[in-house]
Amino acid sequence: MREKLIIGMFGFGVVGQGLYDIIKTKKLNLEIKRFVIKNADKKRTLPAELFSTDPESILADTEINTVVELIDDADAAFTFVKRALSEGKNVVSANKKMIASHLEELAELQQTHGTSLLYEGAVCGSIPIIRNLEEYYDNELLHSVSGIFNGSSNYILSKIFNEGQSYEDALKKAQELGFAETDPTLDVGGYDPKYKLAIVASHAYGIYVDPETILNLGIDKLGDQDIRFAKEKGFKIKLLPLAKETNGKQVVLYVLPKFVRPDNIIYNVENENNGVLVKAAFADEQFFYGKGAGGHPTGSAVLSDIAALRYGYRYEYKKHIDAGQIEYSTNYELSVYFRYADDSSLEEIHFDSVTERFYGEDFMYIIGKINLQEIIAKRHIINQAGNFIAEIL
C-alpha cells in the first residue's frame, strides 16, 4: 500500500537541490514540509518559510514521517538519523561516512523501532548496487566486489591518461566542476571509497567492519614517473576498492591505486563515472556502470529510496543472519609496484618475493609480492613524500 510521505530534509546543497529538481518533475504521493539548513542567510530558490536552522522543526514534528539526510557532517548526521529512527520516522541518507562508521548500531535501531533506513545514494551515485546485493545476490556466493567507487579521483585520472594533463591541472579542473572539494583528501586519499567499501562489504558478505581498520592509500602521491611507467606498459591507473572472499571463511578489504590492463572492463570507465564489478559463483561476472558524482545522479538514487519507502521497503540484512564464520582478514598477498625516494624506505619494508628492480636517474621502483598486513604496518613509510604504491592486476 502506498503511504503518503511527509518529508523533512536536512541539507539543501548539490544533492538536495538535485533531488528537489527531480521531484518537481514527478507526480509522487509526497510532500516536503521542512528543510533544515546551516546557513540561514544564504539565498534560496524556494520560499523562506520552508527553511529552518532548528533540527527540532523536523525531529519533533509528529506529522513528518520521513527524514532525508543530505549533510556533510557525519557526526551531526548520525545524531539526527539515530533520533529520527528512534522516533519512528523512516530515513533516507547519502552520508557514506556516517553509515559506514555506525552501520551495526543503525541496523539494530531499525530492528528495535520497526523503522527503515535506506542509503542507496551513499554508494556509487546512480548505480543501484546496494539493492542488487540485498535482493539479486541474497543467496549468491560472491567471490569479489570491486570497481571505481569515486567519481572525483576517476575524473582526475582520466584527464591524466586520456588528455595528458598533469595531476595538479586535472585536480584543479575537478574542483572547478564541483567533482572535488577544496580539500580533496577524502577523494584522492581513498577515504571516500573506503567508506563505500565498508557498506558494500556488509551487504555482500554480512559483516560489519570498522572503516578505520581498512587500508586506504590514494593517488595523492602519484608522480610523473608512475604515469610514464603505466603508459609504457599499456596500463591505466585507477583507484580501486576491493572486497574479496579468500577461503570461504575470510574477506579482505582495501583501497589502493591499481595498474589496470586494457582487457579489464574497468579500464574504459572514464571521467566521473563509476563502475562496479561483481564476481559470483553462479551468476559469474556482472558489471554495473553509471554516473558516480553530481547532484542529479545521486539525487535519483535518493529518490529511488524515498519511493521504496512508500511500499514499506526495508533492508533485511539477510547475509548477516547467515554470515556464521565469515571474518574480516588482512592476511592477503598481492603484487605491487613501489616507487621510492631512497633506499632507507625500502630497507624497512619486507617483500615476500621480488620480480623486478629499477634504478633510474630520476626514480627507483621495485615490483614484487607483499602481504597486506605489511603494507598496513609500514603505511607511514610507504605513504611518505617521494613514495607511491600501486597494485598490479
Would you name the residues annotated as active-site residues? 196
d(CA 187, CA 171): 11
Closest CA to 3 of 300, 305, 307: 307
Beta strand 90-93 pairing with 284-291? unpaired
Length of the chain (residues): 393
d(CA 204, CA 132): 10
d(CA 63, CA 4): 11
Question: Residue type for 307, please?
Answer: A
Are 198 and 209 within 8 A, CB to CB?
A: yes
Is residue 199 classed exposed, middle or buried when 0-12, 13-18 and 19+ CB atoms within 10 A define those classes?
Answer: buried
| Host H or E run for residue 175 | helix 167-176
| Host H or E run for residue 5 | strand 5-10
- Phi, psi (5° rounding) for residue 119? -150, 40
Closest CA to 208 of 98, 102, 65, 289: 102
Q: What is the CA radius of gyration of the chain?
A: 22
d(CA 125, CA 127): 6
d(CA 115, CA 120): 16
